[in-house]
Chain A
Amino acid sequence: MDILLEMLEKDARLTPEQIAIMTQKDEGDIKAAIDSYESRGVILGYKALVNWDKTEREYISAIIELKVTPQRDRGFEKIAEKIYNYPEVKSLYLMSGAYDFQVILEGKTLREVAQFVASKLAPIDGVISTATHFVLKKYKDNGCVFKVPEKDERINSI
């Protein structure tokens, strides 16, 4: 049920009942499909998209480009595993092109992130080099533009 995934990807707060009504399916079937997606790891979680810039919380994110030497037998997997197990690592991608891994890190301060790169990422076996880019401002993330929702300006009309 691709439509179910599309709907939840757009609005994870839709209830199985609402989805059932909107797709004219049985609510039980929707629940079962969601359970199955969750158990097979198709649906991995449901989260709020937070703009931390609008809160008091100290927060910085950075994109780190890593060049590595793939290990014999296990290629990139072993190195990837070492990286993604750190909770500070928000995303990890294996990339085509000039470098191998893109790591998205989140920390409280610039120093904390720099420290993490120097003491945790750089020393991993097989890592040849790192390049750290700090995020200055987020405009859009996961399809959402970071701005206050606009007031409905549509006039009442018939």
Chain B
Amino acid sequence: MTDYSKKLSKTAQSISPSGIRKFFDILDDMDDVTSLTVGQPDFATPWHIREAAIDALSAGKTYYTSNAGLTPLREEISKYVKRRFSLDYGKDEIITTVGGSEAIDLAMRALIDPGDEVIIPVPSFVCYGPIARLAGGVPVYVDLDEKDGFTLTPEKLERAITPKTKLLVLPFPNNPTGSVMRLPELEKIADIIEKKDIFVLSDEIYAELTYKGRHVSIASLDGMRERTIIASGFSKAYAMTGWRLGYTLAPREISVQMLKIHQYAIMCAPTASQYAGIEALCAGDEDIEYMKAEYDRRRLYIVNCLRSAGFECYEPLGAFYVFPNISKYGLDSESFCSRLLYENKVAIVPGTAFGSCGEGFARISYAYSVKHISSAVEKLADFANKIKNERKL
């Protein structure tokens, strides 16, 4: 018998699987659960975008594209980021990737040498730490606080920086907290980045879902373009999660290194998806506005419902999640969520799935119809009342 534990990569083995999987497996086996767990849009990809991919396939566009992606696609990405976020990137500074996830991977692998520290604000999406470690880096987690609206403060950043720090991950608009970072907050972060001579990986996959004002990319601040890699994609803006289409935006010197990694590991993003991407960028601005307006109304609705039901819940200004504080119910996040699931058949994600500092919180997705949200929050409120009575709170 082969003792795999001795043979398999120590690094791979040391990475723990996403802790939430067990919870989701239980959930998958249950009937009649009203779920608020989904981390993707509830819209189907707009038809004209789907049609562009069908047309591409009909026309026999079934071959690899160039590694960086179709030239017209990169030209359209260039125009799009200029039009919507005032960012200047030429087509040679853009690589189309297999979703935003690959973009994150490329950025880390292009920048990190063994032992380099990567600062990761948490709660945040779960991939940054493992990807940093696979690249030989050392994740340094920075706990964000509810009182700061879950933004990264300059004080917290400065405390986390050491001589080994190479990269800061800036995951805003944030999954799971829904927090965003506005210009004045970013300016303070940018000063430190420049002073300490480190790089930024700005994960802007939710950029289009920013409410009460537009998303500002840190790369648009003075002096920051040269030390920023933006990872973004089509999944959230155009409801295209299954297409696996994303991109990196980075200065030529960095892009050259990332392109080599992409070339050997991936080849190119799916061709039909790239054609769909061109259509999305050329004719999809209205789709974005439509979906964003829908999410915004649901956002206001769910926050109001949760607050009326007695939950403490700061106003999220990005993505499609709310992150209520459930600590007053006296249960840890996981117990709260699993009892809610078993007893009242509502599924939400414990905050701890996004790092231990998510303790006392839960992530609720509002990528659902108003009717669904309404009925789920009613059940959630019933459960909260039951816990209150139980514990005589």
**Complex Cα gap A7–B126 (Å):** 36
Judge if B215 is at the interface, Cβ distance under 8 Å: no
**Complex Cα gap A22–B304 (Å):** 9
Q: Which of B318-351 contact A (CB under 8 A)?
A: 347, 349
Which of B36-44, B156-164, B379-387 sits within the interface?
Answer: B36-44
Nearest A-chain residue to B41, judged by Cβ: A154
How many whole Å from B387's CB to the nearest CB in chain A?
23
Residues on B facing A (Cβ under 8 Å):
18, 20, 24, 27-28, 35, 37-40, 42, 125-126, 175-176, 297-298, 300-301, 304-305, 347, 349, 353-354, 363, 370, 374
Nearest B-chain residue to A23, judged by Cβ: B297
Residues on A facing B (Cβ under 8 Å):
7, 11, 14, 18, 21-24, 152, 154-158
How many whole Å from B34's CB to the nearest CB in chain A?
11
Q: Which residues of B contact A14 (CB under 8 A)?
A: 370
How many whole Å from A69's CB to the nearest CB in chain B?
43
B27–A154 CB distance below 8 A: no
Q: Which residues of B contact A11 (CB under 8 A)?
A: 370
**Complex Cα gap A152–B36 (Å):** 12
B40–A157 CB distance below 8 A: yes
Nearest A-chain residue to B40, judged by Cβ: A154
Nearest A-chain residue to B28, judged by Cβ: A156
B42–A18 CB distance below 8 A: no
Q: Which residues of A contact B38 (CB under 8 A)?
A: 152, 154-157
A21–B28 CB distance below 8 A: no
Supplied contacts A18-B374, A156-B347, A158-B363, 11 more A-B pairs, CB within 8 Å: A11-B370, A21-B301, A21-B304, A22-B300, A22-B370, A152-B35, A156-B38, A157-B37, A158-B125, A158-B126, A158-B354
How many whole Å from B7's CB to the nearest CB in chain A?
31
**Complex Cα gap A156–B25 (Å):** 9
Q: Which residues of B contact A155 (CB under 8 A)?
A: 38
How many whole Å from B252's CB to the nearest CB in chain A?
34
- A158's contact among B27, B39, B301, by CB below 8 Å, is which? B39
Q: Which residues of B contact A154 (CB under 8 A)?
A: 38, 40, 42
- A21's contact among B24, B37, B300, B354, by CB below 8 Å, is which? B300
How many whole Å from B111's CB to the nearest CB in chain A?
25
Nearest B-chain residue to A150, judged by Cβ: B44
B301–A156 CB distance below 8 A: no
Q: Which residues of A contact B35 (CB under 8 A)?
A: 152, 156
B39–A22 CB distance below 8 A: no
- A22's contact among B298, B349, B353, by CB below 8 Å, is which? B298
Nearest B-chain residue to A21, judged by Cβ: B304
Q: Which residues of A contact B370 (CB under 8 A)?
A: 11, 14, 18, 22
**Complex Cα gap A18–B374 (Å):** 10
B18–A22 CB distance below 8 A: no
Which of A11, A14, A155 counts the most chain B CB atoms within 10 A?
A155
How many whole Å from B333's CB to the nearest CB in chain A?
13
How many whole Å from B243's CB to the nearest CB in chain A?
14
B176–A158 CB distance below 8 A: yes
Which of A14, A23, A24, A157 counts the most chain B CB atoms within 10 A?
A157
Q: Which residues of A contact B349 (CB under 8 A)?
A: 158
How many whole Å from B380's CB to the nearest CB in chain A?
17
Nearest B-chain residue to A14, judged by Cβ: B370
- B20's contact among A7, A22, A158, by CB below 8 Å, is which? A158
How many whole Å from A14's CB to the nearest CB in chain B?
7
Can you name 16 A-B residue pairings with CB atoms under 8 Å? A14-B370, A18-B374, A21-B300, A21-B301, A21-B304, A23-B297, A23-B300, A24-B300, A152-B35, A155-B38, A156-B24, A156-B27, A158-B18, A158-B125, A158-B176, A158-B354
Nearest A-chain residue to B321, judged by Cβ: A158
**Complex Cα gap A60–B199 (Å):** 68
How many whole Å from B94's CB to the nearest CB in chain A?
27
How many whole Å from A24's CB to the nearest CB in chain B?
6
How many whole Å from A29's CB to the nearest CB in chain B?
16
A22–B297 CB distance below 8 A: yes
